[in-house]
Amino acid sequence: MTHLEPFGARLRRAMDERGPLCVGIDPHASLLAEWGLKDDIAGLERFSRTVVEAMADRIAVLKPQSAFFERFGSRGVAVLEKSVEEARAAGALVVMDAKRGDIGSTMAAYAESFLHKDSPLFSDALTVSPYLGYGSLSPAVALARESGAGLFVLALTSNPEGGEVQHAVRADGRTVGATMLAHLAAENLGEEPMGSFGAVVGATLGDLSSYDLDINGPLLAPGIGAQGATPADLPGVFGTAVRNVVPNVSRGVLRHGPDVGALRRAAERFAEEIRAAVAAA
C-alpha cells in the first residue's frame, strides 16, 4: 500500500492555503430540480461534475453525501467513484459522508470500502458513528492510520435528536459526547501539526464551553447556511479550538448552481467570512 502523509497534516496545509471551508456534494432531488435537472443518473452526473469543476481546484474539502448516490444503485455509486477521483485529482481533500458504524469484520469491511488505498471509493477521510461503543471503530482507526486517511466521529451533532444520546451522562459523570471527544484527543496525542481523527460538532449548538473541544484534531462543523448558523458564530461555539474547525456549507453554496461562476462566488463569500471570523477570534 502506498503511504500518504497523514490526513491531519494534509488537511492543515489545505486549510492554511485554501481556507477551511468544506462544501457538501448533496444531490437532493429538490436541489436537482432547482438546477433544472431530472432526478436520474444523468442529472446526478451533471450535478456532481459541475460541483467538482467549480470547487475542487480551490476549496480545501469536498464532502459527498454517499446516500444521495447510493439511492441510484450501482450506477449512482459509479458516479460517486468518479466524483471522488476527479475531486482528489484537482487537489481537494474528500471527506466521504457515509456515517458508517458497526462491529468487527463488518466495520473492517466498511473501512476497506472507503479507507483502503486500492478501493475505487478511497477518500481522505470518512464520517463514522461510534454509538456501538468507540472501540467498535478500531478497524477504521487502524486502516486510516495505515493509509494516511482520517476519520470524523459523530460527537455533538446538530440534529435535535442527537442530544438524547450525546448529552446522556455516564456513571463516571461525563457525557457520552465528552467521552467521544476524550477518545479522539487520545488518538491525536502528540501529532503535529494536527491529528487525523476529528469530531463532528454542530455549528448550531451555541456555547459549548462545558466541552473540551481542543482534541488536537479537526472539527467538522455542519450547520452553516441553511441550518441557521453563520461564520460569525464560530468563535462563540468553538472557542480556542476554532482554528481547527472545518465549517461545512452545502445548500448555502449549492443553491447558486448550476452556473459554475455563481457557485465559485458563493463559496468564496463563505470562505472569506469564515477566514475573517477565525482571524478575529
pLDDT, tens digit, 9 for 90 and up, residues 62-109: 999 999 999 999 999 999 999 999 999 999 999 999 999 999 999 999
**Residue 247 to residues 61, 225, 229, 235, 242, Cα–Cα distance (Å):** 10, 10, 10, 12, 10
Q: Is residue 1 part of a domain?
A: no
Least confident of 10-14, 74-78, 224-228: 224-228
**Residue 252 to residues 55, 124, 227, 231, 269, Cα–Cα distance (Å):** 14, 24, 9, 12, 11
Neighbours of 119 (CB within 10 A): 15
Question: Residue 105 has what pLDDT?
Answer: 98
Task: Give the Cα separation of 132 and 136 in Å (integer).
Answer: 6
Question: Residue 228 has what pLDDT?
Answer: 84
Percent helix, strand, coil in the chain (nearest 5)?
50, 15, 35
Q: Is residue 126 part of a domain?
A: yes
Q: Is residue 94 part of a domain?
A: yes
Task: Give the Cα separation of 56 and 62 in Å (integer).
Answer: 7
23-57: b (≥16 Cβ within 10 Å) or e: bbbbbeeebbeebebebeeebbbbbbebbbebbbe
Reference 117, options 242, 2, 258, 261; nearest CA is 2
Q: Is residue 19 part of a domain?
A: yes
Q: Is residue 235 part of a domain?
A: no
Sign of CA dihedral 266, 269, 273, 276: positive
pLDDT, tens digit, 9 for 90 and up, residues 104-160: 999 999 999 999 999 999 999 999 999 999 999 999 999 999 999 999 999 999 999
Using alpha carbons only, give the angle 66, 67, 68 rounded to the nearest 5 degrees: 95
pLDDT, tens digit, 9 for 90 and up, residues 195-215: 999 999 999 999 999 999 999
Q: Is residue 116 part of a domain?
A: yes
Q: Is residue 236 part of a domain?
A: no
Q: What's the DSSP call for residue 2?
A: P
Phi/psi of residue 126, nearest 5 degrees: -135, 135
CATH code for the domain of 214:
3.20.20.70
Q: Is residue 179 part of a domain?
A: no
Q: Which residues are catalytic?
A: 99
Give the chain's domain count: 1
Got the DSSP string for 99-147? Answer: EE---HHHHHHHHHHHHSTTSTT--SEEEE--TT-GGGGHHHHHHHHHH
Provide the domain limits for residue 132: 7-169+192-230+242-280
